[in-house]
């Protein structure tokens, strides 16, 4: 069955450092992968989308890589700030024409001042 794995343990880093979050998947061939931010008691907020034929995508301090051979995506936040503290979810979609997403459980990021 399809499985998406994100680190269940919280990632603690110091302000200014680069945070790297991992998303691994099995039994899946996604057409694209998305990363979302979720704050406690709130709905997810879309951050980045990367397609299967793209290796890397950037947006301001965010960078996402997508390795379909390793079945892995890495999500980087450079120059992290305490305001970046949240849970980050990866989500996979099976095809380009339909938007059904399968979410991982998310990894909590805590950035200390």
Asked if 101 interacts with another protein (CB under 8 A), we say yes
Answer for which of 23, 93, 109, 111 binds another protein (CB under 8 A) is 93
Q: Which is nearer to another protein, 50 or 77 (CB)?
A: 50
What is the contact mask toward another protein in residues 8 to 47, using x (rule: CB under 8 A)?
------------------------x-x-x----xxxxxx-
Confirm if 53 and 105 have CB atoms less than 8 A apart: no
The token pair that represents 51 in the structure block: 């397609």
What is the contact mask toward another protein in residues 46 to 75, using x (rule: CB under 8 A)?
x--x--------------------------
Instruction: Please state, in angstroms and rounded to a whole number, the distance separating the CA atoms of residues 89 and 86.
Output: 10
| Nearby residues of 6 by Cβ (< 8 Å), 6 or more positions away | 21, 22, 23, 24, 88, 89, 90, 104, 105, 106, 107
């Amino acid at each position: 069955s399809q499985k998406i794995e994100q680190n269940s343990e919280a990632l603690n880093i110091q302000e200014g450092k680069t945070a790297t979050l991992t998303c691994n998947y099995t039994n899946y061939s996604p057409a694209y992968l998305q990363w979302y931010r979720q704050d406690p008691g709130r709905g997810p907020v879309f951050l980045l989308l990367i397609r299967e034929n793209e290796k890397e995508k950037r947006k301001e301090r965010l960078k996402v890589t997508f390795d379909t051979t390793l079945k892995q995506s890495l999500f980087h936040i450079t120059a992290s700030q305490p305001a970046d503290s949240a849970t980050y979810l990866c989500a996979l979609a099976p095809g380009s024409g339909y938007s059904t997403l399968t979410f991982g459980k998310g990894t909590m990021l805590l950035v200390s001042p």
